[in-house]
Amino acid sequence: MVPDDQTNLFQTNRRFCQPEAENNHGILFIQEAVVSDLRWLYGLKLVNKSDQDLFPYVFYFDPSEYSIELWYYPPSATKPPPLKADGSLEVGYGEHGNGASIKLSVPEGMHTDSGFIKVFVSTKYVDMQPIAQPSSLHDANPPSTYGRGAAMAFAGPVGADLDQASWNVSTYILTATTLM
């Protein structure tokens, strides 16, 4: 998700600095998108400015529900990477954008609600489905957990060729508000 035009959800000047979190290029900034028009459906455009084809995985972390939703997952380990080098991939643009659209809302009695979008990319296919988890707040019999929201899950064999893989992750804050 690289800002590339005026319609990009993350074309914003709001950034949060975490001074203790530094990467190889200095201080790490986390971008925030604040959306106040909750009538519309939204999508994401993933832009690959590298020279490698990538497998993208998009998750939404909802801290108010303690849930993790899978928003995009590559179709198969046997197919080529869907995010081509110097290309883009639309997520949430209805049937032409790999599935359902993104509908933002604010819980009743509140004015804002925030969550986190995490975009993982890898040069090799990885089974990341076990990351997704439903909310444990509404479950009368939650699974055995270690700490808040943690559970043991079997992800299956990863494969020896993953040792040669490259990967990266980006985090974005997504805030829906009724105040603007």
Closest CA to 7 of 106, 88, 71, 123: 88
How confident is the model over 123-162, as pLDDT tens digits? 999 998 889 988 877 665 555 443 344 444 444 444 445 4
Residue 122 has pLDDT above 90, yes or no: yes
Q: Which residue has the higher pLDDT, 80 or 10?
A: 80
pLDDT of residue 120: 92
Q: Which residues contact 107 (CB under 8 A, 6 or more apart)?
A: 64, 113
Give the residue-averaged pLDDT of 95-106: 74
Q: What's the rounded Cα separation, in Å, for the pair 31 and 116?
A: 10
How confident is the model over 55-74, as pLDDT tens digits? 999 999 999 888 999 999 99
pLDDT band of 98, cuts 50, 70, 90:
low
Q: What CATH number labels 31-133+170-177?
A: 2.60.40
Residue 23 has pLDDT above 90, yes or no: no
Decide: helix, strand or coil at residue 160. helix
Listed by start position, the domains of the chain span 31-133+170-177
